[in-house]
Structure 1
Amino acid sequence: KHTESIGKRAKAIRYKDTSSRWGSCTSEGNLSFSWRIMMAPPAVINYLVAHEVAHLKEMNHGPKFWKLCEKLCPDTDRCKDWLKRNGGALQAIVFE
């Protein structure tokens, strides 16, 4: 849905065991996400996907990026706040 609205496609989507970031986008268009986002509320998952998809068009965190991110996910600020409050608990989850 998000990729269609900006006219870009991801080359690949991967899930990783990361401890320092929720997601990333390479200059080649590969998106990666922490598997831990699957335990976040749907709105937060939507924000994280929108955030990385926005990087397909804007590879920085400048004003154009945030404008696009908010267009893709109007709940951007609320979701960022949720991650600030609860992200540490998600990052602490470890399976042995």
Structure 2
Amino acid sequence: MDIIVAYDVINNKRRRKISEEMESIGVRINKSVFLCPDTKWSVDEIAEMLKKLCTKKDSIFIFPLCKSCAEKSLHLQHIKKTKRKKKTEFI
């Protein structure tokens, strides 16, 4: 089973510690999002590890991803956003 972990941690030091722990068990897919593919860790084990590093002000989401759902997932290449000019007219 794959596991996705996403977090919003206010304190830089705590965020760095969480990031370092997550890099040891998963792959960063965004600044504060990790994918743990075919991990031997369970959701509960990851939750216990992260609980020790965060406070009540922090927010951490852990999503188990079954094999069927993982196979249906898509990875789209980074698309650079363009800024729309203020004077653009829609007809």
Same fold, judged at TM 0.5 (above): no
More strand by share: 2
What is the TM-score when the length of structure 2 is the normalising length? 0.29
* Higher helix fraction (1 or 2): 1
Normalization by structure 1: what TM-score?
Answer: 0.28
| More contact order relative to length (CA 8 Å, sep ≥ 6) | 2
